[in-house]
Amino acid sequence: MAAKSKATIADVARAAGVSTATAGRVLGGYGYTSEEKKDQVLKAARSLGYRPNALARSLITGQTRTLGVVAGDIQNPFYASVIRGISNVAEANGFGLLITNSDESQAKEVHSVELLAQKQVDGLIVTPTDTRKARHLHNLRTSGVPLVLIDRAVAGLQVDRVGTDNISAAEQAVRRLIDAGHRRIGIVAELVEEEQGELAQFMARAISGDPVDSETLYPSWQRLLGYIRAHRVAGLPIDPRLTLRAGSYSALAAEQLVPSFLDQPDRPTALFTTDGTMSEGTMRALAALKLQIPSDISLICFDDLDWMSLIDPGISTMSQPRLAMGEAATRMLLERIRGEEAPPRTVLMSAALIERGSVAKR
């Protein structure tokens, strides 16, 4: 049997008794048409099973009604929740999504941005892999494509951004450990390479109270600043040996380094992990060492993952508003697509401490 041919605008126009131009205006959602003729066209379209041609519509309106997303790692629960928030708002406003993954590689990010631009998306939401060398994002902004950054900023790039107030959140987490009596608190963080200098130099400046431009730091460096601030506010000395630098976005790296980190005479009595990846690696290491939480070591993590509430005891954590971050970024992007010309906005959301019993008093 031959496949049934698709109904065209001309078919709808004939069935509705109107001109093709009138049918096109009604079905394309542009121009003026009387309510009577609009009803005729819509009824005819439904009876014929007409489906609009998105490509043809984009040629008329200049919009594809699609948004592009470049996530750092879509397997990471952080990005999964953020993308869900993006999807919620996009769908409610009649937009589709094209989602790509950079794997925290700038080369892949550049390729993803180029691909999405070629697909003529109406705007992009990007988590930049490099907060300083992001010429492709500057070029995108110059070309007029609406762009919103999520989680990280880029130096000199004047666009809307949504993130977490990482410094304050980390300070709150470490302060919780200090209030429980802990004085030797370790921090497990990626701390990927920074142009500003090595870890020792960075910590020396932060500990001394010298100004640090934190806006374009990677989140783990911002959370290290919060860790340092909590100690300074409490009047406690900071031992640089209690900072474990994984150097990559890898749970395996944390898992391999934590045992030697804890194998010292005056080892930390508590740990603060800066995100879900570091938390996963740290938990595997603690299990292999047969250390009990919180009797052997206390733990507070950053970012709330499902498994943290399923084990006994549960893991206390700083929970980021990931869904809300995705929703806010999408609303901001849609405003830019509609022509909003306000100055670039930065929205930093608060994280909430969720207590589950992984902190013991000292």
Distance CA 133, CA 273 (A): 27
Q: Identify whether residues 14 and 78 lie together within a single domain.
A: no
CA atoms 240, 169, 347, 129: torsion sign: positive
Q: Are 300 and 176 in contact (CB under 8 A)?
A: yes
Does some domain include residue 355?
no
Q: Identify whether residues 284 and 200 lie together within a single domain.
A: yes
Host domain of residue 267? 166-320
Does some domain include residue 145?
yes
What is the pLDDT at residue 132?
Answer: 85
What is the pLDDT at residue 54?
Answer: 54
The mean pLDDT of the chain is: 90
Q: Identify whether residues 101 and 242 lie together within a single domain.
A: no
Does some domain include residue 358?
no
Does some domain include residue 354?
no
Q: Which ranges constitute the DSSP H helices of 49-158?
A: 54-61, 77-92, 106-118, 135-142
Please state the domain count of the chain: 3
What is the pLDDT at residue 341?
Answer: 87
Q: For residue 319, count CB atoms less than 10 angstroms from its CB and return exposed for 0-12, middle for 13-18, buried for 19 or more.
A: middle
Please state the length of the chain.
362
Q: Are 48 and 12 in contact (CB under 8 A)?
A: yes
In the chain, DSSP assigns E strands to 66-71, 96-101, 123-126, 147-150, 160-164, 185-189, 243-245, 270-273, 298-302, 316-319, 346-349, 352-354
What is the pLDDT at residue 229?
Answer: 96
What is the pLDDT at residue 201?
Answer: 87
Give the chain's end-to-end CA distance (angstroms, integer): 79
Q: Identify whether residues 170 and 316 lie together within a single domain.
A: yes
Q: Identify whether residues 304 and 329 lie together within a single domain.
A: no
User: What tens digit of pLDDT does each residue of 186-204 get?
Assistant: 999 999 875 555 888 899 9
Distance CA 254, CA 223 (A): 16
Does some domain include residue 195?
yes
Q: Identify whether residues 192 and 293 lie together within a single domain.
A: yes
Does some domain include residue 1?
no
What is the pLDDT at residue 11?
Answer: 86
State the pTM of this model.
0.82
CATH number for 211: 3.40.50.2300
Does some domain include residue 360?
no
CATH number for 22: 1.10.260.40
User: What tens digit of pLDDT does each residue of 140-155 get?
Assistant: 999 999 999 999 999 9
Does some domain include residue 232?
yes
Q: Identify whether residues 245 and 338 lie together within a single domain.
A: no
The residue ranges of the chain whose pLDDT is under 50 are 1-3, 55, 59
Q: Identify whether residues 286 and 180 lie together within a single domain.
A: yes
Q: Identify whether residues 303 and 191 lie together within a single domain.
A: yes
Q: Identify whether residues 308 and 341 lie together within a single domain.
A: no
Q: Which of 43, 61, 79 is the last residue of a domain?
A: 61
Q: Identify whether residues 30 and 84 lie together within a single domain.
A: no
Distance CA 134, CA 169 (A): 27
Q: Identify whether residues 27 and 100 lie together within a single domain.
A: no
CA atoms 198, 200, 204, 207: torsion sign: positive
